[in-house]
Amino acid sequence: MKASNFSCLVTAGPTREYLDPVRFFSNASSGKMGYALASAAAARRWSVNLVSGPVCLAPPSGVSLHRVVTAADMESTCRQLFPSCDLLIMCAAVADYRPVSTERRKIKKKQESLEVHLEATRDILKALASEKRHQLCVGFAAETDHVDAHARKKLRDKNLDWIVANDVSRAGVGMEADDNCVRLFSRTGESTSFGPAPKSDVAEFILRSILGPK
């Protein structure tokens, strides 16, 4: 149970990293899990900021929505909101790479192949967690193999308090699906699983596991 002045910052959806005005690198994140978390947090009467990449979802009731497009946009917005939040849940699938340069005009097809140079985007969650004071920081690990091992490594390397792992290679759960199946790990060694279940139920499980019942 947390007071009504408790502040939660949630990120959701993908980012888009543009190659030219009409083409971009992105991923299959629908934003459904992040939006479910924001909705569940708002139902607890918390102050909720939702930083969302491009998705086709209606804003949850009682949530302050901040729309962003690129990883740089998301980082800038999160940096403004993070100092005053109590709980950060980084559910967004932020692009790991972006084109080194973005063309101002559409690239015309002139040859059979095109070489694109990419550079790494900043790790927003790792950067924010390195600056945490009172905040709890929760990350997501969407993996296709060695799910638990990869999740535990991210938990340590990014200085997180909790991480939510899910196997996105499984049919019917994870990215774009309405259901999810997760395993939650804490920095103190706790672990617990939930699902498959609707993402609204998974969101309740995550918040309840981290902060207790409503």
**Residues tagged active-site:** 27
Q: Is 197 exposed, middle or buried (0-12, 13-18, 19+ CB in 10 A)?
A: middle
Question: Are 159 and 88 spatial neighbours (Cβ–Cβ below 8 Å)?
Answer: no
| Residue 10 β-bridge partners | 50, 89
Q: If DSSP states are collapsed to H, E and C, what string results for 126-152?
A: HHHHCCCCCCEEEEEEEECCCHHHHHH
Q: What is the spatial distance between Cα 133 and Cα 50, in angstroms, rounded to a whole number? A: 21
